[in-house]
Amino acid sequence: MAPPPPFDATNTPELPFDTGLVEAPGALTAAVLRVEVVRSRRRTKSVAATLHDDLVRVSVPTWMTAIEADEAVRSMVARFERSVAAERLDLPRRAAELARRYDLPCPAVIEWRDNMRMRWGSCQRTTGVIHLSNRLARFPDWVIDYVIVHELAHLVEANHSPRFWALVDRYPKKERATGYLIAKGGELDE
């Protein structure tokens, strides 16, 4: 990437909301977080953000255009909203409950991941580690449960074999959850 141009106050596009408190951008439906955007001269390379209680404070380098900054702020806020949403669910407890109900193994570890862009879940059968994309965290519980059951079944059957589907088909809302995930894009796992 090219180094950022030197700061030029006369040529700096303003953010629509330059400083001060604003509502979370409209695209982010749940206005659970407040957002404060600061144009920073010190912050020369990238956007940074911190979360204190319900306030996201985003520091945007002055060289960024308004469009770039807006996009960066949205992405930061969305990221914090995902992690806040993820915190509401006790994944290990939920997985243990579903494992019991469907007679599947308990994972050694089940954790949210913030960096899964193409997959909703993943399962390492040899280590028993399951990762779920935290983009799931704001979906209905029956969708999250389906992904958990799907990954738990991979602890038994690595591939999408008929035996695998026989395990997963016991989850009553499998078809509905699959449709929901398809509509949201991405693939469940490989």
- Residues making contact with Zn ion (CB under 5 A): 189
Helix (H) or strand (E) holding 70: helix 66-87
Q: How far is the CB of 55 from Zn ion (least distance, A)?
A: 38
In the bound state with Zn ion, the residue whose beta carbon lies nearer, of 25 and 186, is: 186
Kind plus residue range of the DSSP H or E element containing 49: strand 48-52
CA nearest to 48, candidates 18, 22, 72, 23: 72
Whichever of 36 and 151 has its CB closer to Zn ion, that residue is 151
With CB atoms as reference, the residue minimizing the distance to Zn ion is: 189
CB nearer to Zn ion: pick between 12 and 122:
122
Distance between CA atoms of 116 and 107, rounded to whole angstroms? Answer: 19
Q: Supply the minimum distance, in Å, between the C-beta of residue 160 and Zn ion.
A: 6
For 7, 37, 81, 158, the CA distances from 163, given in Å and listed in that order, are 61, 52, 37, 10
Q: Are 47 and 37 in contact (CB under 8 A)?
A: no
Kindly state the smallest distance separating residue 139's Cβ from Zn ion, in Å: 17
DSSP β-ladder status, 121-124 and 34-40:
unpaired
Closer residue to Zn ion in complex, CB, 17/165: 165
- State the nearest-atom distance from the C-beta of 84 to Zn ion, in Å: 27
Residue 16 or 179: the one with the smaller Cβ distance to Zn ion is 179
Nearest-approach distance from CB 188 to Zn ion, in angstroms: 5
